[in-house]
Amino acid sequence: MFPVRAEIFRSSTRCTVPMNARILQGHARDRVVGFGLAALAALCWATGGLAAKWLFTPLDQVSASWPVPPLGITIDAATLSAARAVVAFCMLVVYLLARRRSALRIKPSDVPFLALFGVAGLAMVHFTYFRAISLTSVATAILLEYLAPVIVLVFGVIVLGDRFTWSLPVAVALSVMGCALVVGVLGGSRITVSGQGLGWGLASAVFFAGYTLMGRWAAHRYSAWTLLVYGLGAASLFWLIVLGGPTRVFQALADTRTLLAIMFIALFSTVIPFGAFLTALHHIRATEASVTSTLEPVIAAIAAWGLFGETLTVVQIVGGLLVVAAIFVAQIPSEGDEVLPPAG
């Protein structure tokens, strides 16, 4: 009898060890996918910002010297945000009706959260960011918005139950310092702070953190497609209310060049990056995703140097390296880490 039991034990051990190895390998692949998707989102957001600058910058003596002169399409920031949300929503609905109809099915009880996600998690991020730019500068607005990882770290650990490890605060600190250097905080000339501008900039950080945290909470409750399509629908309604109706959006889209430009931005700066970021939250923790997203100003600074002849200083390069270091630090496993991050 005892030999039989021993053989059963040895057999079960042989089965358990490969199974645990497979689980760990699957977890490692999940994390690679998650960080890759978050990096893709940052790349697309940076590309969208650069494309918007090229499409909508007036043609003058300075911009005429760019390798590819801008188109000079005229549109205000609020109308652009509304048109982008509406067009992105329509594009995504068409795609889901054709390929993923199940993603459109929700329960009535889901509507309040999805509406909140669309307004607070999508529309308000852009609204507060543009207000911060109008009252300060682009560099200041970017710096303030990318304080979001700090909020995500604190809220994620206290509320969502993310495990607090040494790597998370170090990664957050490196990413914030890196962003500060990239946007020129040491130079002083790019940083402009007023009371109202500071308030709107910090609000953009709170709403961007809210987008990340709500997406993390919903990661195992909704597909990324469901969350994004209904979020964009709610964001579109928000912008149409802010603009007092759809007239300004329709007028902008009536111009062929403007329509094509907004379609490009809707796809490559909205649908793809927001979808990739939400999918990343299925694989990695909210803090890790938000730290990775700080690649956006780094990519934008490098691309603007090559495309628009903007200055790229040694300090900015050091800042970019700090952001890259932050992403690597965020990936360092710590003893006791969960195999799968908690969903909420």
| Domain residue limits, the chain | 32-147+193-290
Q: Who's near 173: CB < 8 A, 6+ residues apart?
A: 326
pLDDT one-digit tens code per residue, 46-102: 888 788 778 777 777 777 777 777 777 888 878 888 999 999 999 999 999 999 999
What H or E segment, with its residue span, contains residue 88?
A: helix 77-99
Q: Who's near 255: CB < 8 A, 6+ residues apart?
A: 73
Q: What is the four-CA torsion angle of 164, 129, 302, 175, rounded to 10 degrees? A: -20
Taking the model in full, what pTM does it have? 0.81
Residue 342: the pLDDT is: 42
pLDDT one-digit tens code per residue, 170-222: 999 999 898 888 877 766 555 666 778 888 888 999 999 999 999 988 988 89
Residue 136: the pLDDT is: 72
Using DSSP's 3-state secondary structure scheme, residue 282 falls into coil
Distance, CA of 92 to chain centre: 18
Distance, CA of 153 to chain centre: 15
> What pLDDT band is residue 341 in, cutting at 50, 70 and 90?
very low
> What pLDDT band is residue 340 in, cutting at 50, 70 and 90?
very low
Q: Is the pLDDT of residue 140 over 90?
A: no
**Mean pLDDT, rounded, for 252-259:** 91
**Mean pLDDT, rounded, for 313-340:** 77
Distance, CA of 219 to chain centre: 15
Highest mean pLDDT: which range of 71-85, 136-150, 260-274, 329-343: 260-274
Q: Is the pLDDT of residue 344 over 60?
A: no
Computed over every residue of the chain, the mean pLDDT equals 83
Cα dist. 281→28, 88, 298 in Å? Answer: 15, 21, 22
Residue 49: the pLDDT is: 79
Q: Is the pLDDT of residue 4 over 70?
A: no
d(CA 289, CA 280): 7
> What pLDDT band is residue 110 in, cutting at 50, 70 and 90?
very high
**Mean pLDDT, rounded, for 303-322:** 83
Q: What is the four-CA torsion angle of 72, 75, 77, 78, rounded to 10 degrees? A: -170
> What pLDDT band is residue 144 in, cutting at 50, 70 and 90?
confident
Q: Is the pLDDT of residue 134 over 90?
A: no
